[in-house]
Homo-oligomer: A and B are copies of this chain.
Amino acid sequence: MLEEGPDLVEIPSQPSPPTRPGRTSSVCGNCRFGETRFCGTLMGSVSGIQAAQKTVRARYNVVRSGDIKDSVVVICEGWALSYMQLSDGKRQALSILSAGDMVSPMSLLERRQTFSVQAVTDVRYSMLPRRDVKARLQHDFDLVAAWARLVAMQAHKAHQHIADLGRRLAPARIASLILQARRQADEVGDLVGDTFPFPLRQQHIADLIGSTTIHINRLLGTLRKDAVFELSHGVARVLDHPKLLEMAED
């Protein structure tokens, strides 16, 4: 698994983070997701919440475990990975974050981040002041419910992840990951034929799956050889969907 990243993978220094700040709140108004996502509903026409937009380049951190943040982070564009950093330097990815995802619904209460987030591609994200968001929720129980639904979904995903890691062999986990990404792409309209964007590196897959790059590499090699799945240059291609379903046995 990926050891604590080299300098390039982490934000190199506090003074000059690879970030270009900016302050807009109309950005959300132009968002391709409109109000289909929680962040959209939250920002809806009359919220008056001011979102600060930022950008980080691939392989840099959006959030670091332990950071104290007074904002809720929402990914607007690009892919990122949330992960836990283990004491011995290993890391385990928790989930894929892409456009429209709130980095952590929980961060509404806890200023201290309990996990890190690293950009896979270049990432654009918004920071919503926690105070404002909280106030908004306080006045609108429906929003609380929507938020809770989000939390519930994430909890369920976490449980699936636990079951995957605890009870499945690597091939099944990979198949499962691929299918999940395909489904997601489909929902967002990014699925073109049997092809969809998949910018994760083998290292990222290994981190999600709880395995090593080397093993992932061999498994992907097999999938390619067997004409089941191909991955190259950030584009995934499912050649044998039924086979994948069978492998993931879901």
Q: Tell me whether A216 is interfacial, beta carbon within 8 Å.
A: no
Report the bound CA distance from A151 to B154 in whole Å: 11
Q: Tell me whether A149 is interfacial, beta carbon within 8 Å.
A: yes
Q: Tell me whether A109 is interfacial, beta carbon within 8 Å.
A: yes
- Chain A, interface residues (CB within 8 Å), range: 35 or more
Note all chain B residues with C-beta closer than 8 A to A210: 165-167
Q: Which chain B residue shows the least CB distance to A83?
A: B163
Across the interface, A109 reaches (CB within 8 A) one of B90, B110, B152, B154, namely B152
Q: Identify the stretch in A25-33, A48-56, A137-145, A233-241 within 8 Å (CB) of chain B at 4 or more residues.
A: A137-145
Q: Tell me whether A191 is interfacial, beta carbon within 8 Å.
A: no
Residue interface bits A159-172, CB-to-B below 8 A is 1, else 0: 11111011110000
* A249→B108 contact, CB < 8 A: no
Q: Which chain B residue shows the least CB distance to A161?
A: B162
Report the bound CA distance from A155 to B110 in whole Å: 12
Report the bound CA distance from A167 to B69 in whole Å: 27
Q: Tell me whether A1 is interfacial, beta carbon within 8 Å.
A: yes
Q: Tell me whether A84 is interfacial, beta carbon within 8 Å.
A: yes
* A106→B155 contact, CB < 8 A: yes
Q: Which residues of A are in contact with B by a Cβ distance under 8 Å?
A: 1, 84, 86-88, 90-92, 94, 106, 108-110, 114-115, 138, 141, 144-145, 148-149, 151-152, 154-156, 158-163, 165-168, 209-210, 249-250
